[in-house]
A and B are shown apart, each in its own frame.
Chain A
Amino acid sequence: MTAQILTVDDSASVRMTTRMALTRAGFSVVEAVDGVDGLTKAKTKRFDAIITDLNMPNMDGLKMIEEMRRLPNQLGVPILFLTTESDAGLKTRAKSAGATAWLTKPFEPDQLVKLVTRVLAR
């Protein structure tokens, strides 16, 4: 079973880069354009991992992560967030919202794949 990954980002170019990297590595990708969209998609099915931007319109990543952690069907799903800051404060806030791991932008596609592989238990 191919691992299904939900990527949430308001930037089409980041979404595309992410998708290209992940599909090349054999993952199947579902995209969402903001927090609200991400949450809606997370309600419909269980994903193997969720990758999200933090700074997004409509609903930001922090809020979305919090909400997702309340969804029974995403119980224990790794939620990775992308951040441009090395700001420890933001990481702590994302972690306490329920995020699993993070990746600092800009990242190489390989780093992303590596991270996703890393959080998915083998």
Chain B
Amino acid sequence: MSANFLVRIRAALLAILLTAAFVVPAQAGPFEDAVAKFANDDFSDTDEAIGAVATSGNPLAFPIISALQDGRLSADPDTKKVFVTGSDGKIIDAATGAAVDKLPDGAAAVRLNNRLRRTVEAALGGLTLLSPDPAKRIAAAQSVFKSHEENALAVIDGALAKETNKGAKAAFTEARAAILLYKADATEVEKLEAVAIVKAKGDQEAMALLTGLGSDVPPNVARAAASAIASIQSNLAMWSMVQNAWYGLSLGSVLLLAAIGLAITFGVMGVINMAHGEMVMLGAYTTFVVQEVIRTRYPGLFDYSLLIAVPLAFLVAGAIGVLIERGIIRFLYGRPLETLLATWGLSLVLQQAVRTMFGPTNREVGNPSWMSGAFELGQITITYNRLWILCFTLAVFVILLAMLRYTALGLEMRAVTQNRRMAASMGIATSRVDALTFGLGSGIAGIAGVALSQIDNVSPNLGQSYIIDSFMVVVFGGVGNLWGTLVGAFTLGIANKFLEPVAGAVLGKIAILVLIILFIQKRPRGLFALKGRAVEA
């Protein structure tokens, strides 16, 4: 009896223990507790949860943290349940990993602020250090370099030992150096080595790391760091010259693009076209319309939207240009003052028309993936959109030049502008050529609008900001000479960008204007003055 009783008691205890062993962790283990904190919608709770989940070693840690970063982690504040929506749309319960059919109604994405985003980045860096993808390992090592979190040291040492990829190995070495540099109990020798490694990295991040070093380091290390900072600085100063030159080229290409159409209408035809900027704006709005149609009907084509927009913008702006020439400007040839007033009025009409049609607010024109982002060249950042615009501008310039030189229309245009009466008596329909020339200039302005929509506001005021600059470029380069426009645009761009860091954007612009005025005093016909009879005509 008593033995039986004991056995029973033992069995019962065992059962309790067993259930405890199975049930308790599933309901209230530290990992599950931490995950539930995401549901509190409180930034400091979320912070604790990230730390606890990242160090838990649980296989769900990586999916949870990366979902948090992408806004795919949602929580139900009522039941305190947290869900991960995979990038494939599958939903799992974050605490258990069990699949869930759909999110509950009350669930909302877990909110982050900047401080938490930094924590998430650092945590993800720690979690992806051992990722099989070398690119991910490099990114992780770089984020450790920035955060120089001591906990990551052991993982990095382990990873470094078996790392075979050269880039990843370098990134790991740098991350390790960053940690040692800030580790309180690292030896002086280790720290000196670390300074050397960071110095070799030599970019702005390295400098930030070294300048952030407090005063509580051994004097030898402080001295090494100071000399490393000085050498990085002088290196960066040299690169900043290269950078200014690049920015100048890029600004020059934008100026050229905006001015090239004007070089035809004003430079070649002599029409002061104040509505030129509005042609640029029409091109930008054409891009907007094209993108809208693509977004609603053919989302797959989005990356090609600009390629489609270019010919359309040319046609739209060109057609409107021909209409303007036929309707207004042809009655005003030889009367520059009236042309100026008429086209200025026209520019206001066009602006207000667009404002009525599309509304006064900015319109969103997206950047295709190949135009977003940047790459590093040495110590300078080159953004893809600027690079593409530079290439595009040069292409437009070359095509235009070839057109003027090699096609029949180009020949007729040159003939008419050089000597209208002679050309007419040779059988050229001069008024038709006038219309086409004006259309060509306007069409090119439209193309410029496509490119400018990538870097500027698409609003009814877009054109206004370019009209003065365009005239400046054409006048400076020499009226009637495409090469002059090219050289003028790049000169102004580069001069502006070398002045800007010294004088500031506002003074820089004023200085450029003053310089141009002085230059025009000396050479009224611009850089590349036309010679010969055409000048007197």
A binds B: no
